Structure 1
Amino acid sequence: MTNRWAGVTIDCLDVERVAGFWSTLLDRPRGPSEPGWIYLGLRDDPQPRLVFQPVTEPKRGKVRLHLDVAVDDIERGIAQVIALGGRYTGERHEYDEGVIVVMTDPEGHEFCMAQYY
């Protein structure tokens, strides 16, 4: 038996808005999706698909699993997220290997954006 990572599912109140944010940020096109859901990427892509699932309850508290997004320029990355409707939390960590900032998508799902040196 072979197991492999196939995707990450994100619960959303507004699937179109959140999927559009991530599609633009990561330059990942929509793939075939179930009605009401949106999938970014295809099942056989080398990267796992992102799946956006509609839910009726809003996010509560900090997420326990998050995505990491690598960028060439952290300030441009922050500006892009904000322009797409996300937010910079103000949390920033400087390490020898680079800088990491904590961002959110339009519904408040936290993710890290990293610029490696």
Structure 2
Amino acid sequence: MQFLVNIDVDDLERAIAFYREGLGLTVGRRLGDDGVEMLGGSSPLYLLEKSPGSRTAGDQARSYERHWTPVHLDMVVDDVEAAVERAVAAGAKLESPVRVNNWGAIAGLADPFGHGFCLLEFRGRGYDEIGA
């Protein structure tokens, strides 16, 4: 099985700039006028331009204000403090500062399109520190 990550945005060029500058991804290929493949993570990330107010699969209207969903991205980085600084400089909003746990460190952010994500850095044995 392969995972593809799709992120709806209201401004494709602004999204490309954020995900390139803020998270270090690169453009893989254009998908017509309304989509782009971003590379640099373990799975491709697809930015899809969708108008605010357009209907989603659940027949809700798209909104790019900050919203919450139980499905979000965790992005593993080598240096969480530096990654947070880079993301915020590119337009992310820091929602929860770096917290250190026995498995590593994590920070909660939102991209300029209202999508939440976490940056985390594994330390020691990573999640094996809390595994059975």
Common fold: TM-score over 0.5:
yes
Correspondent of 1:20 among 5, 13, 17: 17
Contact 2:25 2:41 (8 Å CA) reproduced: no
> Do structure 1's residue 51 and structure 2's residue 46 form an aligned pair?
yes
Residue equivalent to 1:37: 35
> Do structure 1's residue 65 and structure 2's residue 71 form an aligned pair?
yes
Q: Which amino acid aligns with 1:40?
A: M
Query: Is there any run of 5+ residues in structure 2 with no aligned partner, and where?
Result: 53-62, 124-132
Q: How many residues align?
A: 111
Query: For the structure 1 residues 92 and 86, does the alpha-carbon distance in structure 2 shift closer, same or farther, using more than 3 Å as the test?
Result: same
Q: Which amino acid aligns with 1:53?
A: L
Query: Is there any run of 5+ residues in structure 1 with no aligned partner, and where?
Result: none
Deviation (angstroms), 1:46: 8.5
Contact 2:22 2:91 (8 Å CA) reproduced: no
> Could you tell me the percent identity over the aligned residues?
24
Correspondent of 1:8 among 5, 10, 15: 5
Write the deviation string for residues 69-115 of structure 1: whole angstroms up to 9, x where unpaired. Answer: 12232222221111111110025543211111101111121111112
Q: Which amino acid aligns with 2:68?
A: K
Correspondent of 2:92 among 64, 67, 86: 86
User: Distance between the aligned counterparts of 1:67 and 1:8, measured in 2?
Assistant: 9
Contact 1:16 1:38 (8 Å CA) reproduced: no
User: Distance between the aligned counterparts of 1:74 and 1:26, measured in 2?
Assistant: 11
Correspondent of 2:110 among 101, 104, 108: 104
Higher RCO (C-alpha 8 Å, min separation 6):
1
CA RMSD of aligned residues (A): 2.2
Q: Answer with 1 or 2: which has the greater Rg.
A: 2
